[in-house]
Amino acid sequence: MCNGILKIMMFIFNGVIFLAGVAILGVGVWVTVDSDSLLGLLDGVEDLPDEVFRLAYVGYVMIGVGAALLVIGFLGCCGAIMENRCMLLTFFSVVLIIFLIEVAGAVVLFVFDDVAEDIFDNLEDEVRKTIQKNYGEDEKMTSLWNATMEQFECCGYKNYTDFDDSPFNRPEDNYPSPCCSGTMVVCSSHNAALLSVPGCFVKLVDWLEENSVIIAGVAMGVAALEIAAMVVSMILYCNAGRKS
């Protein structure tokens, strides 16, 4: 009877873990695609901090964690049905590794606010120089910035002044239309200042700051579920050992 209840618990735990894996995998793919496009804005920027590229790895880590959760969900269910000690031990080991990674990731998200702000502040001057040198002249770079600004409803790196003295801005007082919310044919400095559209990376940092606690909380909730699954798997493992 007790063994049957434990098996049902394993099915529930692994069902939730499997669904969490699907969700994390999907978010990881989305983050990777978006981070690739955002990092494309930094083409031509010299002396990029190593931390920028580490941020890009977050998506790949999430893809790896999501895929691993799918695998352990399968192992947990099969191990419980067959009472296979090897599968149960493998399940326990993999869940333990994933658990430790998630705890580390949650800690990073809690302290990410200050780290992100420092990274993006250090990049500001270099990105500004690149925009002022190439925007309006380099077709690839101009198209990439335009697409990003339209998609995220943002303007420049921090604001419209990033385009001052760029080829697009000279000789007239002219700024990209997203800097005026796309509402005006000619976007002047007066109109851009009046509308005050936030910069793209400012908007990205704000989004991360607003959602970091929620993301970390969900990760800790999944981690608590994994602890319960590890405990149940060890009980089943020990029971299977006594039967054999």
Cα first-last separation, the chain = 19
Rounded to 5°, angle at Cα 176 from 210 and 167: 125
Give residue-wise pLDDT tens across range 68-114.
878 877 777 777 777 777 877 888 887 888 788 777 766 665 665 55
Residue 5 corresponds to which tokens in the numbers above?
A: 């209840």
Give residue-wise pLDDT tens across range 125-152.
788 888 888 888 888 888 888 888 888 8
Give the pLDDT of residue 163.
92
**Using an 8 Å Cβ cutoff, are 120 and 205 in contact?**
yes
* Rg of the chain on CA atoms, in Å: 24
C-alpha–C-alpha distance, residues 100 and 219, integer Å: 11
Give the pLDDT of residue 81.
75
C-alpha–C-alpha distance, residues 226 and 156, integer Å: 42
Residue 104 corresponds to which tokens in the numbers above?
A: 């580390």
Give residue-wise pLDDT tens across range 169-184.
877 788 999 999 877 6
Amino acid at the residue 86 = C
Q: Give 21's pLDDT tier (boundaries 50, 70, 90).
A: confident
Amino acid at the residue 105 = G
Domain range list for the chain: 1-244
Q: E-assigned strands of 103-152?
A: none
Tell me which H or E stretch contains 96: helix 85-110
Give the pLDDT of residue 63.
82
15 pLDDT exceeds 80? no
30 pLDDT exceeds 80? no
Give the pLDDT of residue 48.
47
